[in-house]
Structure formats: C-alpha cells, structure tokens
C-alpha cells in the first residue's frame, strides 16, 4: 500500500521521464535507422495505400545491389510536408508524370525500355515504364501497394520513373552506381502472392 | 531517572549514510548497465528488427529510470535530507521543555527538506509549539503524554519520559 502511495506521489516524474526517454530514443533511431544517400535507394510511391516497411524489406530480400544498405520506400505524402522529394525512383500516375514532364522538365531521367515492357514516351524518349495497367487492373507488388480504391477501379496507369539527379542511375551525372535501375526492375517483377 | 532517547543517534546516522551511499552506487551501476544494454541493442539494429530494438531500448531505459526515480527519491534523497536535518540539530543549542505532549495532525512539508509534524506541549508556563520529523512522531506518541523534549530551534532532537512530580517547564 505504501509503495503504491509512493508511486502515486511520484507519478509526474514517472510520466515525464517515460515521455522524454521515448522521444529521445525515437530521435536517436531516426539516425540509427538511416544511412547516407549513397548507400540507400529511395522509392516514392503515389498510391492510395502503401505498406512502406513491408515493401522495403521485400525489395531488400529480392534485390539489394552491391554497396546499397537499405531500400527506403516513402509515400508521396512526404511532399505535403514541404519536403523536397529526393528520391531515386518514383511510382506515379500517368497524369502526374505528364505534368512533371511539362512543368519541371529535367526532373526525370530518360530510360532505356526493357524488352517486353511498355513505356511512357514523349519526344522519342521513354520517361517511365508501365507498372499498373488499368485495363487488366494488375501491377507489381500489389500486396504492398493499393493502386485504386477497393470499390472504384483505377482508370489511370502508373509508371515507374527515375530521378534525373539521383546518384543511383548510370544515366545521371555524378552517378555512383546503377542501383536504382536494378531495384526498379526488381519492383516491376514483384508479383503478388495473392 | 528515565533514559534520554535520541532521535538521531550517531550509529543510526552512520548506518543511514552507509545505506545512502550504497544505494546511490547501485543506482549508478544500474543506469550504466541499462545504457550498456541499450547501446548493444542499438548496435544490433538492422532494417528488419529496428522497431523491436527501438521498443526494447525504450522499455529498458524507462524501466530503469522508474527504478532510479523510486529509490533515488525514497532512499537516497530522503536519507540525505534526514542526515542534513540531524546535522543541523547536532550543531544547534539544545533546550528542554517538559509537559503534556499532544501530537497534532498538521503536517508541514519543508521545501527541499524533511516533512514535519506539529506538536503542542502544555507546560506550567503555557503552551509551546514544536516540530518533529514525521517518521519519529509515532514513537513519541507511544512514549506517553508527559515527556521532557530536547529541542534545537523548535525541532525535537530527543525525548525523555518525565517524572510525575515534575510538573513545571524548563526552557
């Protein structure tokens, strides 16, 4: 009884330190769980729902290029926070791809189109590889990415694009490797387990 | 002649000091051990287990912090305050007052010091208000009504059962 009374008397200290330590560790782990830009590939996905951690881990299992420690998957929601998107790969809708190419030319890199795949072409160059096809309603990694609301099938295609300034595409200036391309191809081949 | 009961005998103060130092050392060792565990957990982080490790670090550090707070407050801090109070009483001029002692239910929590309980002594000359360490009040109550109290600056440092015929007050 006395112990409980003592604990009650110090409750403010217990709560205060629990909060402080939780925040401190969460802050420390933002650094621990991250690595330098050269050692990670960042994929942005503009989808209705996304299992960021699950997709990142799956891609690491499927394809972790040499020199790469981590594949980070982020939602496009990051851009709403005013953060500048510094990704290597973007999985985006055709309309967003179009407006990006029109409004901010030079943001995306021109890609070689792999055999057997369809791409988004403009001015004779391929700017994105078709990922989600609205006709078949199929796309890669459907266990992790929800391309359309459940009751409203998506009518727009999704394309996989590569950033023109990223360090992980050999077509870019100052590139250190071609990891983004390797991860991108692995993503496109990620079939659903369902 | 009844014996004088000292509230803060030197052997008790020594024991208290030793215990305080021992607990403080244990708490420091506990904090160091918890920190070491957290560092080891953090060094074993990979992308698969990062959230488990984060949770483990939070649990270890918060649990340790709670133990340190509990024993730090109720053992180390309180003992330190009692020792300081006892030293203060040992240094001051001692006075005595004899009379009928009534413990009041009034508690006074002195900031950064001990918690006191008020008591009233009815002497032949009048009423005297005094203070006693709250943990010692119960022993004083059991000792009886008529007592000779030895005080320093209004704080009870020792007591003695008073003779029945001694119905006057000294000061």
Average pLDDT over residues A157-165: 93
Give me the pLDDT at residue B64, please.
98
Domain A38-188 grouped into CATH 3.40.190: yes
Give domain limits for chain B. Answer: 4-91, 95-161
Question: Which sign, positive or negative, has the C-alpha torsion B61, B67, B68, B70?
Answer: positive
Which residues in chain A touch residue B74, judged by CB atoms under 8 angstroms apart? 6
C-alpha distances out from residue B112 to A68, B19, B77, B81, Å:
56, 20, 9, 8
Average pLDDT over residues B21-39: 97
> How many angstroms away from the CA of A101 is the closest CA of chain B?
34
pLDDT band at A194 (very low <50, low <70, confident <90, very high): very low
C-alpha distances out from residue A94 to A14, A135, A175, B86, Å:
52, 14, 26, 81
Contact between B70 and A25 using a beta-carbon 8 Å cutoff: no
Contact between B54 and A6 using a beta-carbon 8 Å cutoff: no
The answer to whether A147 and A159 are in contact (CB under 8 A) is no
- Is A138 part of the contact surface with chain B (CB cutoff 8 Å)? no
Q: Which two tokens stand for residue A97?
A: 């791809």
Q: Where are the beta strands (DSSP E) in chain A?
A: 40-45, 49-50, 70-75, 89-93, 119-122, 125-132, 145-146, 158-162
B161/A89: higher pLDDT:
A89
Which residues in chain A touch residue B53, judged by CB atoms under 8 angstroms apart? 29
A59, containing H or E segment: helix A52-62
ipTM of the complex: 0.77
Quick one: closest CA in B to A60, which residue? B47
* pLDDT per position as a tens digit, B62-90: 999 999 999 999 999 999 999 999 988 88
Give me the pLDDT at residue B171, please.
45
- Is B39 part of the contact surface with chain A (CB cutoff 8 Å)? no
How far apart, in whole angstroms, are the C-alpha atoms of residue B8 and residue A180? 75
Give me the pLDDT at residue B22, please.
95
* pLDDT per position as a tens digit, A32-48: 988 898 999 999 999 88
Quick one: closest CA in B to A23, which residue? B58
pLDDT band at B169 (very low <50, low <70, confident <90, very high): very low
Say what the pTM is. Answer: 0.75
Q: Which fold, B95-161? A: OB fold (Dihydrolipoamide Acetyltransferase, E2P) (2.40.50)
What's B75's DSSP letter? I
C-alpha distances out from residue B16 to A171, B12, B13, Å:
74, 6, 5
Give me the pLDDT at residue A84, please.
64
Alpha helices in A144-178 (DSSP H): none
How far apart, in whole angstroms, are the C-alpha atoms of residue B121 and residue B127? 6
- Is B69 part of the contact surface with chain A (CB cutoff 8 Å)? yes
Q: Does A109 score more than 90 pLDDT?
A: yes
Contact between B54 and A56 using a beta-carbon 8 Å cutoff: no
B82, containing H or E segment: helix B78-91
Which residues in chain A touch residue B47, judged by CB atoms under 8 angstroms apart? 33, 56-57, 60, 70
Which residues touch A101 (CB under 8 Å, ≥6 apart)? Answer: A107, A108, A122, A127
Contact between B65 and A26 using a beta-carbon 8 Å cutoff: no
Give domain limits for chain A. Answer: 1-33, 38-188
Average pLDDT over residues A155-169: 92
CA-based nearest residue to A132, from A14, A66, A50: A50
CA-based nearest residue to A61, from A3, A132, A118, A141: A141
Q: Does A3 score more than 60 pLDDT?
A: yes
Q: Does B1 score more than 90 pLDDT?
A: no
Query: Which of B38, B47, B66 has its CB closest to that of A57?
Result: B47
Contact between B42 and A21 using a beta-carbon 8 Å cutoff: no
B22, containing H or E segment: helix B10-43
C-alpha distances out from residue A154 to A19, A52, A134, A159, Å:
43, 20, 6, 13
């Amino acid at each position: 009884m006395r112990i409980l009374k003592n604990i009650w008397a110090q409750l403010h200290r217990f709560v205060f330190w629990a909060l402080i330590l939780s925040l401190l560790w969460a802050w420390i782990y933002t650094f621990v769980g991250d690595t330098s830009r050269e050692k990670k590939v960042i994929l942005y996905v503009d989808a209705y729902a996304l299992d960021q951690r699950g997709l990142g881990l799956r891609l690491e299992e499927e394809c972790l290029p040499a020199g790469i420690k981590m594949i980070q998957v982020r939602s496009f929601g990051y851009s709403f926070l005013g953060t500048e998107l510094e990704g290597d790969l973007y999985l985006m809708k055709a309309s967003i791809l179009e407006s990006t190419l029109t409004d901010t030319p030079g943001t995306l890199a021109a890609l070689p189109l792999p055999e057997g795949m369809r791409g988004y072409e403009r001015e004779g160059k391929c700017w994105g590889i078709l990922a989600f096809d609205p006709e078949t309603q199929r796309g890669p990694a459907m266990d992790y990415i929800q391309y359309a609301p459940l009751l409203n099938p998506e009518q727009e295609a999704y394309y996989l694009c590569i950033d023109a300034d990223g360090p992980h595409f050999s077509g870019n200036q100052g590139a250190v490797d071609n990891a983004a391309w390797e991860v991108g191809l692995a993503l496109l081949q990620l079939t659903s387990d369902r | 002649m009844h014996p004088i009961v000292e509230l803060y005998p030197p052997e008790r103060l020594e024991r208290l000091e030793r215990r305080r130092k021992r607990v403080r050392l244990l708490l420091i060792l506990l904090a160091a051990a918890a920190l070491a565990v957290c560092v080891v957990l953090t060094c074993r982080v990979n992308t698969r287990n990062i959230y488990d490790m984060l949770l483990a670090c939070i649990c270890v550090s918060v649990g340790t912090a709670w133990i340190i707070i509990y024993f730090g407050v109720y053992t180390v801090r309180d003992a330190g305050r009692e020792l300081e109070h006892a030293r203060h009483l040992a240094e001051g001029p001692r006075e005595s007052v004899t009379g009928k002692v009534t413990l009041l239910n009034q508690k006074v929590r002195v900031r950064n010091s001990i918690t006191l309980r008020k008591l009233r002594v009815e002497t032949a000359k009048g009423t005297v208000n005094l203070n006693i360490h709250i943990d010692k009040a119960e022993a004083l109550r059991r000792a009886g009504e008529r007592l000779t109290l030895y005080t320093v600056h209004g704080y009870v440092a020792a007591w003695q059962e008073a003779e029945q015929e001694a119905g006057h007050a000294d000061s």
